Amino acid sequence: MSSGWFITGTDTGVGKTLITSALLHALAAQGKRVIGMKPVASGCTESGSQRSNEDAEQLIAVSNIEADYDTVCPYRFLTPIAPHLAAAEEGVEICIDRIIDCYQILKPQADRVLVEGVGGWAVPINEQYSMGDVAVRLGLPVVIVVGARLGCISHALLTQQCILDRGLPLAGWVYNHIDPDMQRSDAVLASLHDRMSAPLLGSIPFMRNADPQQISTFLDLDQ
């Protein structure tokens, strides 16, 4: 069994953090030691010399192993824009080696480290590399969070193909209802089920103010 998963999404705003937190909760309920990692985050808040990120803090709250904030989330930027733009705005270059070093610190402490990407698979992190390159360097199986809304079939299949083209295995995918007005969602889910090459780990209904424990009840990791 792999020591972790890399969590990507079909887009930004599809519920990656909530699903990653739910996966952490489900794995912890199985008796596993788990840590969530958010290597790059934008849209952070600042208090004095300390920057915090809501996504990273949610992962920390669900993890059952304590870890240093700067290891869990080494890059934290203020402006809520694509990471390479946020980094450039602050005169910082995101270094993959630093991300890998942080992961290697966390890995021996846990049975599973879940690494949540920022944005979608191909979002740049600097002038040379993308979030997908981070996943490749980590060498982890990938879980795709599919944001269930119009256009998600193409987004999911394109994301899957990009991952497979990079030689990484797909651990599974989660169908997350983010649009309460989406039409024929069940038909879309069935269509994706026929075309995705990994197990469906869960279909999450639309819920306002859902928490990771609630979401975890819709996950099936015994596949």
Give 38's DSSP letter.
Answer: -
Q: What is the number of other CB atoms lying within 10 angstroms of the CB of residue 152?
A: 25
Q: How far is CA 86 from the centre of its chain?
A: 19
Distance CA 105, CA 100 (A): 9
Q: How far is CA 24 from the centre of its chain?
A: 11
Distance CA 107, CA 114 (A): 10
Q: Give catalytic status of residue 16 as yes or no.
A: no
Amino acid at 164: L
Please identify which of the residues 16, 32, 38, 107 carries the catalytic annotation. 38
Q: ∠ at Cα 3 (73, 174), nearest 5°?
A: 75
Q: 96 with 133: CB under 8 angstroms?
A: yes
Residues classed as catalytic? 38
